[in-house]
């Protein structure tokens, strides 16, 4: 095999064949790096014999399961494109994505057979049974391994469909270069080693599940535990059982965790870092982990870039609470005004990113791809600011900014204030049309069990903490805030709820 091959699993397997690479938390099944590599080779050989060629898409429909690694690394060996599908979507939504990416093959887990029946691909393969394991055992050899190749780094590696909160989901194409540079950048900037162990319940169809920690840790020779668990207490037990050293979860899961009575007594002796991503994190979560002497920090990323872009020094967390840190080693960042100029320190602007970790294109959307870049810089659509010490803070989505009576209001600032109230479990702020002010501030709030709160009480709580024009004029109290398929608060749905009132 040529030295410029992107088949890094083969190289890792040669270096540390007997180290544990991956574990299924539900079954306890564990693979060494050698086993993982052998399985990927076998699946690649089968797919090639069935007709999958370099550049073809291979769609994968599975919950967090080890077969996802079979599929990803088989695609890398075959130079096909790995397309993980969001199994939380409806059949019609999945059909639209499959019609868009036109996969040559569909690999699905037996647990999702009923959902897979409605999807078409010329080649279909069911994982999770005797027939699938017999295919792996047959180990059909790949024919093209010694074939001459072009610039492999520039070839497409995976395509991850965006959450679609701002419209129709887009296929974000990541090249081998994008994936490789995110792994290298994360390892050297976050100081990951072969001793690191993580458990992920973040879905492997999402970049946070697959690219944020799992692939960097595998590249470094560590261990990844995959779990379908969505409850906080069992996840705490898994962190203990597998002596995890670094953990990434969304704020909603951390909120559920700190609300458990068991959290007050549990210890995490092996964990050196708890990471939060996907949405701004309430200050109460920081405080809960700090009270136990645990390092807790936020990250920032997006499917189109990494997703990892910043590093937060644990020694700075307490003094720079809410910051995502400083740019990672191999990432360039700037904060830009609407006119395209860099803003002054402390001012809010759009976050632009540049580096070899940035995505290749939006699938079949050349105009959208072109509009995402300015002179090689990726326009993220997120707003942020930088302080005098070089630390960056995320203010919110540019599309979420509310203009009321000519004043800019950033929802995250208002949400953080409301979340400081002891009765508030979740809060989201949106702008709704107003004939006088252009937009008015409205909030959706979920309370902790056995807590009561009125509009007036919450409004009065905000007075003096933020400007009067930022305080919501309307409140919608819900048992739980609506979420997208990747667990983020669905603000589009909240706006619809207000329109329906």
Which range marks the domain in which residue 219 is found?
A: 8-386
Q: What is the mean pLDDT of residues 83-107?
A: 93
- Looking at the structure, tell me whether residues 405 and 382 fall in a common domain: no
Longest dimension (CA), the chain: 71
- pLDDT tens string 107-164: 999 999 999 999 999 999 999 989 999 999 998 888 865 545 566 667 999 999 986 5
Q: Give Cα 483 distance to the centre of its chain.
A: 15
323, 357, 386 - which closes a domain: 386
Are the C-beta atoms of residues 43 and 136 closer than 8 Å to each other? yes
- Which helix (H) or strand (E) segment holds residue 125: the answer is strand 123-127
For the chain, what is the domain count? 2
Please state which of the ranges 120-124, 207-211, 237-241, 463-467 shows the lowest mean pLDDT: 463-467
In this predicted structure, the answer to whether residue 165 has a pLDDT above a threshold of 70 is no
Pairing of strands 361-362, 373-374: unpaired
Distance CA 87, CA 115 (A): 8
Residue 81 lies in a domain: yes
352, 386, 420 - which closes a domain: 386
Query: Which pLDDT band holds residue 5 (cuts at 50, 70, 90)?
Result: low
Q: What is the pLDDT of residue 169?
A: 81
Residue 327 lies in a domain: yes
Q: What is the pLDDT of residue 153?
A: 67
Q: What is the pLDDT of residue 1?
A: 39
Q: What is the mean pLDDT of residues 34-44?
A: 97
Query: Which pLDDT band holds residue 424 (cuts at 50, 70, 90)?
Result: very high
Which letter does DSSP use for residue 282 in this model?
P
- Looking at the structure, tell me whether residues 207 and 356 fall in a common domain: yes
Answer yes or no: pTM beyond 0.85. yes
- Looking at the structure, tell me whether residues 320 and 410 fall in a common domain: no
- C-alpha distances out from residue 285 to 84, 234, 308, Å: 31, 19, 21
Are the C-beta atoms of residues 46 and 138 closer than 8 Å to each other? yes
- pLDDT tens string 258-275: 999 999 999 999 999 999
Q: Give Cα 179 distance to the centre of its chain.
A: 14
Q: What is the pLDDT of residue 321?
A: 86
C-alpha dihedral (446, 450, 454, 457), degrees to nearest 10: -100
- Looking at the structure, tell me whether residues 423 and 375 fall in a common domain: no
Q: What is the mean pLDDT of residues 80-91?
A: 93
Residue 392 lies in a domain: no
What values do phi and psi take at 323, rounded to 5? Answer: -80, 150
Distance CA 292, CA 250 (A): 19
Distance CA 493, CA 477 (A): 14
- Looking at the structure, tell me whether residues 63 and 206 fall in a common domain: yes
- pLDDT tens string 295-335: 999 889 899 998 999 999 988 988 898 899 999 999 999 99
The rounded percent of the chain whose pLDDT value lies above 70 is: 96
Q: What is the pLDDT of residue 407?
A: 86
In this predicted structure, the answer to whether residue 454 has a pLDDT above a threshold of 50 is yes
**CATH code of the domain in which 443 resides:** 3.30.300.30
Are the C-beta atoms of residues 198 and 211 closer than 8 Å to each other? no
Residue 111 CB contacts under 8 Å (≥ 6 apart), including other chains: 62, 63, 128
CA angle 112, 114, 116 (to 5 degrees): 70
The rounded percent of the chain whose pLDDT value lies above 90 is: 76
Q: What is the pLDDT of residue 164?
A: 53
Query: Under DSSP, is residue 264 helix (H, G, I), strand (E, B) or coil?
Result: helix
Residue 500 CB contacts under 8 Å (≥ 6 apart), including other chains: none
355, 386, 417 - which closes a domain: 386
- C-alpha distances out from residue 493 to 24, 250, 252, 329, 402, Å: 35, 20, 18, 38, 17
- Looking at the structure, tell me whether residues 305 and 339 fall in a common domain: yes
Please state which of the ranges 71-80, 358-367, 435-444 shows the lowest mean pLDDT: 435-444
- Looking at the structure, tell me whether residues 125 and 210 fall in a common domain: yes
- Looking at the structure, tell me whether residues 411 and 368 fall in a common domain: no
- Looking at the structure, tell me whether residues 48 and 122 fall in a common domain: yes
Query: Under DSSP, is residue 117 helix (H, G, I), strand (E, B) or coil?
Result: coil
In this predicted structure, the answer to whether residue 2 has a pLDDT above a threshold of 60 is no
Mean pLDDT score across all residues of the chain:
92
Higher pLDDT, 436 or 34: 34
Query: Under DSSP, is residue 255 helix (H, G, I), strand (E, B) or coil?
Result: helix
Q: What is the pLDDT of residue 4?
A: 44
Residue 58 CB contacts under 8 Å (≥ 6 apart), including other chains: 47, 52, 71, 74, 75, 78, 80, 81, 82, 83, 103, 104, 105, 106, 107
Residue 130 CB contacts under 8 Å (≥ 6 apart), including other chains: none
- Looking at the structure, tell me whether residues 345 and 410 fall in a common domain: no
- Looking at the structure, tell me whether residues 280 and 410 fall in a common domain: no
- pLDDT tens string 342-356: 999 999 999 999 999
Distance CA 359, CA 363 (A): 11
Query: Which pLDDT band holds residue 3 (cuts at 50, 70, 90)?
Result: very low
Pairing of strands 377-386, 407-409: unpaired
Distance CA 80, CA 145 (A): 13
Pairing of strands 407-409, 402-404: antiparallel
Handedness of CA 461, 404, 447, 486 (dihedral sign): negative
């Amino acid at each position: 095999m040529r030295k410029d091959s992107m088949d890094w699993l083969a190289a890792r397997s040669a270096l540390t064949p007997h180290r544990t690479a991956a574990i299924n938390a539900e079954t306890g099944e564990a693979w060494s790096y050698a086993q993982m590599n052998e399985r990927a080779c076998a699946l690649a050989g089968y797919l090639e014999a069935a007709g999958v060629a370099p550049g073809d898409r291979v769609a994968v429909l599975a919950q967090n399961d080890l077969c996802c690694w079979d599929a990803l690394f088989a695609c890398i060996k075959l130079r096909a494109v790995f397309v993980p599908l969001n199994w939380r979507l409806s059949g019609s939504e999945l059909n639209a994505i499959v019609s868009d990416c036109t996969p040559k093959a569909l690999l699905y887990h037996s647990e999702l057979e009923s959902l897979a029946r409605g999807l078409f691909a010329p080649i279909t393969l069911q994982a999770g049974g005797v027939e699938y394991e017999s295919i792996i055992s047959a180990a059909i050899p790949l024919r093209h391994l010694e074939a001459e190749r072009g610039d492999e780094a520039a070839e497409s590696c995976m395509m991850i469909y965006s959450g679609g909160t701002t419209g129709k989901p887009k296929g974000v194409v990541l090249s081998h270069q994008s994936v490789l540079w995110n792994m290298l950048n994360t390892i050297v900037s976050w100081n990951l080693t072969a001793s690191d162990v993580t458990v992920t319940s973040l879905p492997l169809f999402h970049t946070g599940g697959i690219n944020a920690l799992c692939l960097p840790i595998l590249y470094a020779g560590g261990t990844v535990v995959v779990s379908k668990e969505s409850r906080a207490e069992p996840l705490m037990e898994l962190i203990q059982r597998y002596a995890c050293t670094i953990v990434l979860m969304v704020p909603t899961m951390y909120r559920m965790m700190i609300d458990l009575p068991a959290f007050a007594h549990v210890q995490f002796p092996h964990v050196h870092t708890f990471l939060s991503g996907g949405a701004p994190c309430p200050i109460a979560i920081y405080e809960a982990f700090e009270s136990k002497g645990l390092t807790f920090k936020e990250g920032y990323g997006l499917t189109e870039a990494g997703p990892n872009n910043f590093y937060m020094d644990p020694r700075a967390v307490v003094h720079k609470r809410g910051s995502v840190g400083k740019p990672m080693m191999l990432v360039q960042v700037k904060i830009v005004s609407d006119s395209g100029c860099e803003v002054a320190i402390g001012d809010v602007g759009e976050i632009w990113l540049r580096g070899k970790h940035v995505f290749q294109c939006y699938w079949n959307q050349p105009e959208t791809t072109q509009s995402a870049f300015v002179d090689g810089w990726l326009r993220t659509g997120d707003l942020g600011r930088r302080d005098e010490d070089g630390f960056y803070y995320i203010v919110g989505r540019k599309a979420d900014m509310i203009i009321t009576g000519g004043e800019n209001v950033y929802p995250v600032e208002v949400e953080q204030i409301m979340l400081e109230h002891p009765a508030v479990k979740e809060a989201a702020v949106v702008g709704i049309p107003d004939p006088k002010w252009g937009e008015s501030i409205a909030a959706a709030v979920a309370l902790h069990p056995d807590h009561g709160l009125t509009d007036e009480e919450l409004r009065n709580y905000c007075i003096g903490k933020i400007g009067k024009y930022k305080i919501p004029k309307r409140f919608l109290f819900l048992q739980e805030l609506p979420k997208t398929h990747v667990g983020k608060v669905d603000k589009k749905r909240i706006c619809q709820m207000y329109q329906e009132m």
